[in-house]
Structure 1
Amino acid sequence: MAHVSLPSPASPNVRMRERRGDLSPREFAASVRRAAREIGEHVSCDARYVGRVESGEIRRPNYAYERVFRHMFPGASLADLGFTPRGESRRAAVLPAPRDEENDDVQRRTFLAGGPLAVVTALSWDGPAHAQSSPAAQDAAVHPLGAAPSAVGPGSGAVPDPGTLPQPNVRVGLREVGEVESAVRQIRLLDDVHGADTLFERAGHTLRSTYQLLNCGTYTAQVEQRLQASAGELAISVGWLAHDSGRLAEARSLYAEALATARMAGDSALEAHAFCNTAFLARDAGRPREAVRAAQAARSAAADLGSARLQSLLALREAGGWALLRDRGSCLKALGESRSAFEQGPAEADPEWMSFFNEAELAGLTAQCWAALGEFEAAAEWAERAIALQPAHFVRNRTLYTAELAHDQLGRGAVVEAAHSGSSAVALLSQVRSTRIRGMVSATAERMRQHRSVPEVSDFLERYELAIAS
C-alpha cells in the first residue's frame, strides 16, 4: 500500500490570511456579512469563524460561505483561497474521513429540549405589518409553517393536533428557515406598534413547530446554523411577548431556552440577546442583582461582536439593576458607558433585533433609572425627551414614555402635570395591547385617587375608568 502524505488538519490557511490584509478579524467578519447581504445570502460570520478559517480548522467552507467568498474575490477558486476543492477527497481512500462538523454538507439532526415551549396557539404572520393592525386581520393570514390554529394554552393540558406540527424526518431547507426568520421579524414589527397581549397567545405554536424541526428534521450544516439561530431568536421574541403581557415566569423559561440554544450552537450574538432580555425581565420582576449579573454576562458575550449600540443597550440594562439597588455611583457609571457607546453610532454589526433602540429608547430607559433612584426631576426631563424623540407611528412606545412621564411628574409632586400626562396616555391605550403599560397607568391612577378633588385629576380618573370599562 503506497504511503500517502497528508496535510495536517491544523495547517494554517495563509492565503485567506493574506486576503484579510490589514483588517482585524472582526472587521473582516463584518465585510463578509456585508458581502453576503449584497448577494442575498445569510452567514453568521464573526471573528471566531475567521480564526478557524485562518488556522486551517475549516478546510472547506459550506456552500453559503463559498458563494460569499467568490463574490468578494472574483475569479478565485477554492484552491486559490487555500481551501480544499469540492471534487478532491480530503483523505486517501484507505483512511476513514472524519466528520467535519462545520462543513460537511450532509443531513443531520440536532436534538434540543423543546418540550416546555409548547405553550399556545398558532401564529399567522404573512403580509406586511400595516395590513395586520387588527386581530381579525392577523387571524386571516397563513401560518408560516403550515400549522392550523389550536386551543392550547399554558397549563391547559391540551395537546396540539400532531398533524399541525412538522412530521419526524421531514426535510428542512432554506425555505422553512426563511419562514421562521420572517415570523420573528413580523412579531417584532407588530409588537413595536401594538404590544404583546394579543400576539403572545398566537406565537407559541410557531415556536413549538420550530423546535420540532430541530428535534426531528433532517438538514444540512448550513440550514442547521440558521435554524438554531432562528429558533433561539423566536424563543426570545415569544419570551418578550410573555414578559410584556405579564407572564413573567413563562418569559423566564423561554429566555432560558434561548440561552441553552445559544450555548449549544456556540452563538455569542444569540447569547448576548438572551442575557439582555433576562436582565430586563429580572429588573421588572424585582430581582435587581440578577438583572445586574445578566446584563454583565450579556456585555461579556457581546464583547467581540463589534456593535457599540448593542453595548450601549446592555449598559442600560445594567444601569437599571443598579438603580433598583439604589447604587447611584454604579448606575451613573453604567449610564455614562451607555451614552459613550451610543455616540459611536450605528455599525454593520448591529443586530437586526435592535431596530427599536434609538435615541428615544435610550432616553426612556434613562428616565426609568432616575425614577428608580428616586430623582424624579431628572426622570421627568428624560421622559419628556423620549416622547419628543419617538416617531409617531411607534404608538406602543409613545404610550410607555407618556405613562413614565406621568409617574415621574407625580413623584416630584406635580399633580396637575401628572394628570395631563396620564390623560394623554389613556387616550393612546385603545391602540396598545400591553399588560405592562396598562399596569403602569393603573398604578399612577391608584396613586392619584387621593388627589381626586383636583379637577384635572378627576378628569384623568374618569377617562381612565371609561377606558378600562371599554
Structure 2
Amino acid sequence: MESFGQAARRLRAGLSLREIARRAHVDPGHLSRIEADKRTPTPQLAAALDAALGGAGHLAELARRACVEPWPLDGGPWRPCDTERLVDALAQQTPTAENAVELAHQWLIAEPPQLLEVRSGRRIGAGTVERVERRVQQLRVLDDYVGGGETWVMVTRELTATAGLLKGAAYTEDVGRRLLVAIGELCQVAGWVLSDSGRLAEAERVYLAGVRAANAGGDVAGAANNLSSLAYQLANTGDPRTAPTLARSAYAGARHHASATTLALLAERVAWAYARTGEARGAERALGQVEAEYDQRRPEDDPVWVYWLDQGEIEIMAGRVWTQLHRPLRAVPILERATSGYSDATGRETALYLSWLAESLIQANEVDRAAETASRAFRLSRQANSARAEDRIRLLGNQLGRFRGNAVVDSFLDEFRSAA
C-alpha cells in the first residue's frame, strides 16, 4: 500500500508544491517533508490536502490508518492523533470516577511518551513558551487572592489559547515538550478555579487532560499534581471512596520523580482523602509522611507551583483532618495557631481555614467562640466569590442552627440568612 507521502505526490502530478501548499494553508517546507514521509499530517491537514488535491477521501483515510498504531520512539510512543485527542479532550464529555481510577493505574505503569513535532502552522520558539510559563504562574498567584467565580473564564480562555499553540504551531521537540508541561500546569490551575466556582464536571475533565499533557511532556510531578487535585475534588464533592485510590496513585507515581516538597503536598491530599472516608489510621499515617517529606525539602529542587506550601499550610491541613475525624482536642490548638498568621487580604483562604476552626470549636462545645469565628469567615467569604467558601459557611449555618437562643449564634445566623 502506498504511503501518505507517495499518494500526495501522485495526486499532485503537474501542480507545484508551492501552489498546493497555498491551497491547503500549509508551509511549503512542511508539505515537502510530508511528501517525503518524514512528517505525518494531522487529520485536519490531511483533510485540507485531500480537498486541495482532489483525493476523494483517500488521503484522509491514509492519515487515519497511519495513526492507528503508535510510532516507536526512544522514550515511548506518541502519535499525531495523540495531540488531536489531547486538545479535543478539553471539549469532551466528562469522564467518570471509574475512568479516572483506570487512568491513574495506566499512568503508573506507562513509560512517558516522547513528543513529535506538531506538523502544521507557524513555528514558535523558546521565547513563546517562556511567556506562556510566566502567564501560568501569574494566574496561579492571582488565585491566591481571587475566587474561582472571578477567574475561571480568564483561566479557561488561557488554556484554550495555549492548547491552540500545541495543535496549530510548529516547533522543535524540546519546545513542544515544554509547551505540554505548561499546558499540564495550566490544566491544574484551570481545574482548581473551575472547582472553586462550582463547575465540577468541567474541572474533572480538565484535570484528566492535565495528567495526559504533563505525562506526555515528561513532567511526572505535574501529572501527579493534576491527579491528586482530582482526588481532592472527589473527596469533597464526589464519591469520597474513590479519592484515596487516586491520591495514593499520585503519590506513588511521583515518589521517585518529584521533590520532597511536592511529595509532602501529595501526601497531604492522601491524608485528606482518608479523613473524608473516616479512616483515621490512614490519615494519621499520611500526615506523618507529610512531615517526613517536608523535613527533607530542598527549595532548589522544587517546581514553581509548590511555592505556597509551608509549615503553616501543613498545620492547617492537619487541623482540617482532625476536625473531619471529629477530634477537636487535636484540631482546635493547631487551627488556632495556624490561622493567627492569616490576614483578611487572602480572603478566600482565610475564610476557608476559619470555617474549619469554627467547626472544630462547635465539636468542642465552644459555641460562642465558634459563632464569632464563623462570623468573620462569613464576611470574608462574601468578598471571595468562591463556591467552596460558600459551601463551608452554609455548613456552619446548619451546625450552629441548633444553638438558636445564644446571642452570639443568633447574630451570626441573622447576618448569614439575611444575605441568602
Q: Report the TM-score when normalising by structure 2.
A: 0.70
Choose the corresponding residue for 2:227, options 263, 267, 275. 275
- What pairs up with 1:148-297 in 2 under 5 angstroms? 169-297=121-249
For the pair 1:439 / 2:391, whether they are aligned, the reply is yes
State the match for 2:88 in structure 1.
115
d(CA) in 2 for partners of 1:204, 1:333? 36
Deviation per CA, 1:21-68, whole angstroms, max 9, x where unpaired?
xxxxxxxxxxxxxxxxxxxxxxxxxxxxxxxxxxxxxxxxxxxxxxxx
Aligned residues: 318
- What pairs up with 1:31-430 in 2 under 5 angstroms? 110-117=83-90, 169-305=121-257, 307-390=259-342, 393-430=345-382
Q: What are the ranges of 5 or more consecutive residues in structure 1 without an aligned counterpart?
A: 1-98, 103-108, 120-167
d(CA) in 2 for partners of 1:245, 1:419? 26
The Cα of 1:416 is off from its aligned counterpart by 0.9
For the pair 1:458 / 2:410, whether they are aligned, the reply is yes
d(CA) in 2 for partners of 1:346, 1:389? 24
**What RMSD in Å do the two structures reach over aligned CA positions?**
2.5
- Which 4+ runs in 1 deviate beyond 6 A? 99-102
d(CA) in 2 for partners of 1:213, 1:113? 12
The Cα of 1:118 is off from its aligned counterpart by 5.1
d(CA) in 1 for partners of 2:361, 2:407? 17
d(CA) in 1 for partners of 2:192, 2:133? 16
The Cα of 1:241 is off from its aligned counterpart by 0.5
Which AA in structure 2 matches 1:115? D
Point out the more displaced range, 434-443 or 293-302.
293-302
Which AA in structure 2 matches 1:117? L
| DSSP 3-state at the match of 2:302 | coil
Identical positions, percent: 29
Alpha-carbon contact 1:111-1:216 (below 8 Å) kept: no
Deviation per CA, 1:387-445, whole angstroms, max 9, x where unpaired?
02446643322221111111211122221111110111123224312110111011101
d(CA) in 2 for partners of 1:381, 1:284? 24
State the match for 1:42 in structure 2.
none
Which AA in structure 1 matches 2:208? A
Which AA in structure 2 matches 1:169? G
> Structure 2 vs 1, CA of residues 461 and 374 (structure 1 numbering), >3 Å: closer, same or farther?
same
Alpha-carbon contact 1:118-1:204 (below 8 Å) kept: no
d(CA) in 2 for partners of 1:233, 1:384? 33
Q: What are the ranges of 5 or more consecutive residues in structure 2 without an aligned counterpart?
A: 1-71, 76-81, 93-119
Deviation per CA, 1:86-116, whole angstroms, max 9, x where unpaired?
xxxxxxxxxxxxx9879xxxxxx95443234
The Cα of 1:234 is off from its aligned counterpart by 0.7
d(CA) in 1 for partners of 2:147, 2:308? 13
Alpha-carbon contact 2:225-2:266 (below 8 Å) kept: no
d(CA) in 1 for partners of 2:297, 2:187? 28
The Cα of 1:316 is off from its aligned counterpart by 1.4
d(CA) in 2 for partners of 1:464, 1:392? 19
Alpha-carbon contact 1:214-1:227 (below 8 Å) kept: yes
Alpha-carbon contact 1:112-1:215 (below 8 Å) kept: no
| DSSP 3-state at the match of 2:167 | helix
State the match for 1:44 in structure 2.
none
Which AA in structure 2 matches 1:283? A
Alpha-carbon contact 1:111-1:214 (below 8 Å) kept: no
d(CA) in 2 for partners of 1:380, 1:253? 36
Point out the more displaced range, 453-462 or 342-351.
342-351
The Cα of 1:177 is off from its aligned counterpart by 1.6
Which AA in structure 2 matches 1:377? L
Q: Report the TM-score when normalising by structure 1.
A: 0.63
Alpha-carbon contact 1:207-1:231 (below 8 Å) kept: yes
Alpha-carbon contact 1:236-1:258 (below 8 Å) kept: yes
Deviation per CA, 1:203-231, whole angstroms, max 9, x where unpaired?
21221111111112111122111101001
d(CA) in 2 for partners of 1:339, 1:200? 33
The Cα of 1:347 is off from its aligned counterpart by 2.6
d(CA) in 2 for partners of 1:118, 1:327? 36
Alpha-carbon contact 2:234-2:240 (below 8 Å) kept: yes
Which AA in structure 1 matches 2:303? P
| DSSP 3-state at the match of 1:413 | coil
State the match for 1:63 in structure 2.
none
Which AA in structure 2 matches 1:447? Q
Alpha-carbon contact 2:211-2:227 (below 8 Å) kept: yes
Alpha-carbon contact 2:347-2:381 (below 8 Å) kept: no
